[in-house]
Structures are given as structure tokens and as C-alpha cells.
């Protein structure tokens, strides 16, 4: 039973088993899911944070168990790392902008976050590439996407600073 739960988690309910671009689809579903939680259901930020933290911490265990007997220590079907990485900039954006946002603004920011996260996750700039290469365990699988999520946050902060200073 626990093995099935772990499998469902690490593959994000089977999205990781898609033939083409499972990481991109996992990121997209995460983006839509979080938009729904924040803007449709209007869950409190703390509730969403608790959910994300539970997923984050349990993922280390689930990924570790999943890859234990697998020769490939970062299999493509493991996409919970994309869910975690994609969630970081979205959550931080939402708590930083707690005021009412119009529909169009929120959608645009979510699209920017999605594109930037996929860019950093695929390109793996320094030090993401080191984490990806050096750690062949659950930490490496998850933490390179965590860093990609923080690169998105940093990029958006730089963009906002440049925008306020020059435009």
C-alpha cells in the first residue's frame, strides 16, 4: 500500500508516466492547481503552505524509496520535484502580493513563472547543474528543482526592480 502511495506521489498521480514532456505537464498541472487553490477556492495561505511542506518533506522519503532499486537515480517519471520547484515561486508571489489582483495580472504572472521555471529546470545553470550531477539521491532529484524555483523568484525580483527604476 505505501509503495502505491509513494508511486502516485512521485509520478504526481501518473503524470510522470506520460510519454512526452512529463516534467512540463507536471509543472503545468501544478500551476493550474495552485491558481485554483489561491484564486478559485480561496484557501488561506497557511493551509496551502502546510500542504506544500507536507509534500516537500514526504517527497524525500518517497523518492528515496522509489529510486532505491532503480539503476537510474533520476528517472523521468519522477516529477514530484517539478511540483515542488514550480510551487515555490507561485507561493512566494502570492504571499508577497496579498492584495486583490485582477484576473489578467494573475494569469500573466503565473504564465511567466511557469515559463521561467521550465527554462531554469531544463537549462540547469550553475549551481543547479552541480546539484544535478553530484547528488544521485532524493536530495539531488528534489533540490535542483528547488534551486530552479528560487532562480525564478530572483529573476522576478530583478525584473520588478528594473521596472520600478526605469519604467
Give the pLDDT of residue 44: 93
Q: What is the mean pLDDT of each run of 10 residues along the chain (167 residues)?
A: 89 95 97 94 94 96 89 84 97 84 84 97 92 86 95 94 87
pLDDT at 101: 67
Residue 72 confidence (pLDDT): 72
Residue 56 C-alpha from the chain's centroid = 10
Q: What is the pTM of this model?
A: 0.92
Q: Is 75 exposed, middle or buried (0-12, 13-18, 19+ CB in 10 A)?
A: middle
| pLDDT the model gives residue 163 | 86
Amino acid at each position: 500500500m505505501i509503495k502505491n502511495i509513494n508511486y502516485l506521489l512521485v509520478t504526481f498521480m501518473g503524470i510522470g508516466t506520460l510519454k512526452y514532456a512529463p516534467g512540463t505537464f507536471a509543472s503545468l498541472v501544478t500551476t493550474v492547481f495552485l491558481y485554483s487553490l489561491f484564486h478559485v477556492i480561496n484557501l488561506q495561505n497557511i493551509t496551502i503552505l502546510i500542504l506544500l511542506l507536507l509534500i516537500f518533506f514526504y517527497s524525500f522519503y518517497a523518492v528515496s524509496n522509489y529510486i532505491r532499486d532503480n539503476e537510474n537515480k533520476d528517472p523521468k517519471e519522477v516529477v514530484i520535484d517539478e511540483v515542488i520547484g514550480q510551487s515555490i515561486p507561485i507561493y512566494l508571489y502570492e504571499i508577497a502580493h496579498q492584495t486583490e489582483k485582477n484576473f489578467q495580472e494573475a494569469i500573466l504572472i503565473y504564465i511567466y513563472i511557469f515559463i521561467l521555471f521550465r527554462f531554469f529546470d531544463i537549462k540547469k545553470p550553475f549551481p543547479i547543474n552541480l546539484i544535478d550531477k553530484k547528488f544521485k539521491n532524493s536530495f539531488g532529484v528534489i533540490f535542483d528543482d528547488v534551486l530552479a524555483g528560487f532562480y525564478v523568484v530572483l529573476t522576478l525580483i530583478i525584473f520588478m526592480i528594473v521596472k520600478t527604476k526605469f519604467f
